[in-house]
Amino acid sequence: MPCTPHEHLCSRRAWLGATAAASFAASLGPFGAHAVAEQAQRKSKQVLFIWIDGGMSQLESWDPKPHTRFGGPLRAIPTSVPGIHFSELVPRTAKLMEHLAVVRSLCTKDNSHSAGVARIQRGDPKNRGVTYPYFGSAVAKLLGPGESGLPPYIWIKPGSGGFIHQDAGLLGPKNGALAFGDGQPPENLLRPDTIAETYDAERQELRALLNQRYASQHRPTASEANSYVYDMAHALMKRQDLFDATRLDPRDVERYGSHDLGRHMLQARNMLEAGVTFVKVNSYGWDTHHDNFNAHMSLMPKFDQAFAAIIEDLAARSMLDNVLVIALSEFGRTPRINGAAGRDHWPEAWSAIMAGAGLRKGLVVGKTNDEGTFVDSEPFDIGHMFHTWFTALGIDPHKTEYNNHGQPLPIAHDNCRAVEELLA
Q: Which CATH architecture has domain 37-187+239-422?
A: 3-Layer(aba) Sandwich (3.40)
What is this structure's pTM? 0.84
Choose between 29 and 45: higher pLDDT. 45
**Over residues 115-122, mean pLDDT:** 96
- Contact between 207 and 230 under an 8 Å Cβ cutoff? The reply is yes
Tell me if residue 93 falls in helix, strand or coil.
Answer: helix
Q: Is the pLDDT of residue 167 over 90?
A: yes
pLDDT at residue number 195: 73
Average pLDDT along the chain: 87
- Cα angle value 133/134/138 (rounded, 5°): 65
Least confident segment among 128-132, 145-149, 212-216: 212-216
Tell me how far CA of residue 4 lies from CA of 8, 10, 215, in angstroms: 8, 12, 18
186, 191, 193, 195 alpha-carbon torsion, rounded to 10°: 140
Residue 190, Cβ neighbours under 10 Å: how many? Answer: 10
Helix-strand-coil percent breakdown of the chain, rounded to 5? 40, 15, 40
Q: Which amino acid type is present at position 361?
A: K
- Contact between 322 and 45 under an 8 Å Cβ cutoff? The reply is yes
Q: Is the pLDDT of residue 47 over 50?
A: yes
- Cα angle value 153/159/161 (rounded, 5°): 40
Tell me if residue 309 falls in helix, strand or coil.
Answer: helix
176-198 pLDDT per residue, tens = 999 999 988 776 565 666 777 78
Residue 309, Cβ neighbours under 10 Å: how many? Answer: 21
Q: Where are the domains of the chain?
A: 37-187+239-422, 191-234
Q: How many helices (H) and strands (E) does the chain have?
A: 11, 15
